[in-house]
Amino acid sequence: MSETQNSIFASYEKDSKFYDEIFDEKGNVKKVYQTLFDLYSGHSSQDFAKLNEKAKASFFNQGITFQVYNDKEAKEKIFPFDLFPRIIGQKEWDVIERGVLQRSKALNHFIWDIYHDKKIIKQGIVPLDLISSSENYLHQMIGIDPPGGIYNHVSGTDLIKHSDGKYYVLEDNIRCPSGVSYVVCNRTALKRALFGVFNHYNAHSVTDYAQNLLEMMESVKPRGVDEPNCVVITPGVYNSAYYEHSYLAKAMGVELVEGRDLFVENDFVYMQTIRGPQRVDVIYRRVDDQFLDPLEFKPESMLGVPGLFSAYKNGNVCLVNAPGTGVADDKAVYTYMPQIIKYYLGEEPILNNVQTYHCSRPDDMKFVLENIDKLVIKPVDEAGGYGISIGNTLTKDEIQKVKKTIMASPRKYIAQPIMSLSVHATYIEESESFESRHVDLRTYCLLGANKDFVLKGGLTRVALKKGNLIVNSSQGGGSKDTWVLKS
């Protein structure tokens, strides 16, 4: 190592318990990162401090921010962006891409089945209570055939790399997976901040996502429509993901609507324009199921459109994603993914599942209660990293509390071995140097009628707190630009 490398990487601790994305076991830089490493060596720690400030200012000025609510007021924060990109080679990516698409397709079959014949339950592959006890199973969806037969048009599968160097799927998000706008922004910011770095690598572009999203939406247009009018619906400017909603609408060149812009007449959906009503055919909805239509779901919802579900049921509008997909991104369904893939596609799963214990099963429950210190306990239906207990960080009292909560509602909890998320070099402001931090990877997959697409890239999320395994932005996580190489 040269001296410059020493100064920037002086605080980088190598820990053999985790898979290191940058360094091999002997402490040498991996081949794919070598060029990047050499280039970075030309910069001093002051250079990086400056670049870091610039990148932050660029995000802030563009208003690429999210709101954090504390006791008194909403604060505008940028999603921390890291200057060291993650690089994924072509072969490695190929497996991820095929695996993600396989899961997405299998889940689509699964959702169709559980809202129609329920064969998979009748044949005893998955238990009935997986669905009957799920809050996200919508009886309103039973028997409905969505345009193109597609339910989970947009999926975000989260992957990690364990200490064995293999990818594992943590979860499949098929309600409203977010974050894709950051993938594009991170790329732009990195290209600007680190002038002359990107062109040394032959990485896939990520800007084609919006085009593919629009093509996918057009592919699931209702019957009898030639040129569908596609829109994005948002809960509004105060939603934490509003930037993303406006970005997607702008990038696709379609209208960004709110519930109050739309109305339903004779089971057709219209939006109010300056020239009167205009029909809407495909809606990429970033509003949760329960808020979509006050006539059908939560009656007090102000975000939705009265009559929207009826228009959907009659096939006059397509909702992306379909209502009721939440039943399949339940963490309990996750544990049956290998069986689900085999049942519908007749294939072996390409990506690994993490070993999961269901607290609803007596044997598993017993094991969980005896081994809490070695497990991660997760509620099956929470998002955003909330409600998670990591066994080896708990005190004795806390363990007792967790045990009580599990015993009170076993169906609500699953447990998994503590997975060792791989580590990556991450710029840390306090030390003005690169340190090792845990990362995961969110992928984005689109499924349409005769159309599928996996974004070549993704959101590498990084836990900025030392030793922390939770990467969600609401819990202090940041993100990295992710390069998928062409060769």
Partner 1 sequence: MLARVANNLFWMGRYIERAEHLARYLNVNYFSSLDAPNEKSQSRELVLHSLLFMANGPVPKDYELTEQNVFFDIGLNKDVPYSIINCVKYARENANGARDLISTELYESLNKFYHFVLNYDADFFVKKGLYDFSTQVAESTAVLRGKIRGTLLHDEVYAIIMLGVNIERATQVVRIIQSKYYDALKSQGSYGDKFSKSYEWVTLLKCIESYDMMRRYYKKTPTSISTLEFLILNRDCPRSVMNSLVQVNNHINLISRDKHPEHNSAAFLIGKTHAEYCYKTVDKIEEDVELFIEEIQDTLIEIAKKIENEYFKY
Binding site for partner 1 (CB under 8 A): 60-63, 232, 237, 242-243, 246-247, 249-250, 255-258, 260-261, 271-274
Contact in structure between 277 and 108 (CB atoms under 8 Å): no
Read off the amino acid at residue 33. Answer: Y
Q: Residue 235 CB, nearest distance to partner 1 (Å)?
A: 13
User: Can you list the alpha helix ranges (DSSP code H) found in 62-206?
Assistant: 90-114, 119-122, 129-132, 180-193
Residue 238 or 386: the one with the smaller Cβ distance to partner 1 is 238
Residue 34 or 273: the one with the smaller Cβ distance to partner 1 is 273
Q: Residue 53 CB, nearest distance to partner 1 (Å)?
A: 15
Four-CA torsion 202, 206, 209, 211, nearest 10 degrees: -70
- b/e string for 253-265 if b means 16 or more Cβ within 10 A? ebbbbbbebbbbe
480's enclosing H/E stretch is strand 477-484
User: Can you list the alpha helix ranges (DSSP code H) found in 12-155?
Assistant: 31-41, 45-61, 90-114, 119-122, 129-132
Residue 72 or 91: the one with the smaller Cβ distance to partner 1 is 72
Structure-block tokens of residue 147? 């345009």
Contact in structure between 449 and 404 (CB atoms under 8 Å): no
Residue 248 or 376: the one with the smaller Cβ distance to partner 1 is 248
Distance CA(221)–CA(251), nearest Å, equals 20
Q: Residue 184 CB, nearest distance to partner 1 (Å)?
A: 12
Prior bond of 321 cis (ω within 30°):
yes
Structure-block tokens of residue 327? 């039943």
Residue 40 or 270: the one with the smaller Cβ distance to partner 1 is 270
Location of structure tokens 């990148």: 55
Q: Residue 261 CB, nearest distance to partner 1 (Å)?
A: 5
Q: Residue 275 CB, nearest distance to partner 1 (Å)?
A: 8
Structure-block tokens of residue 182? 């950051």
Distance CA(376)–CA(486), nearest Å, equals 36
Q: Residue 61 CB, nearest distance to partner 1 (Å)?
A: 5
User: DSSP letter string over 373-407?
Assistant: GGEEEEETT--TTTT-EEGGG--HHHHHHHHHHHH
Distance CA(299)–CA(302), nearest Å, equals 9
Residue 133 or 246: the one with the smaller Cβ distance to partner 1 is 246
Q: Residue 220 CB, nearest distance to partner 1 (Å)?
A: 21
Q: Residue 35 CB, nearest distance to partner 1 (Å)?
A: 31
Q: Residue 16 CB, nearest distance to partner 1 (Å)?
A: 45
Residue 185 or 311: the one with the smaller Cβ distance to partner 1 is 185
Q: Residue 232 CB, nearest distance to partner 1 (Å)?
A: 8
Residue 34 or 61: the one with the smaller Cβ distance to partner 1 is 61
Those residues with Cβ within 8 angstroms of residue 271's Cβ, 6 or more apart along the chain or in another chain = 231, 255, 257, 261, 262, 277, 278, 280
Distance CA(177)–CA(285), nearest Å, equals 11
Residue 64 or 337: the one with the smaller Cβ distance to partner 1 is 64
Residue 246 or 339: the one with the smaller Cβ distance to partner 1 is 246
Q: Residue 9 CB, nearest distance to partner 1 (Å)?
A: 34
Residue 343 CA, chain-centre distance (Å), reads: 25
The closest alpha carbon to 190, from 398, 474, 480, 392, belongs to 480
Residue 250 or 486: the one with the smaller Cβ distance to partner 1 is 250
Distance CA(278)–CA(271), nearest Å, equals 5
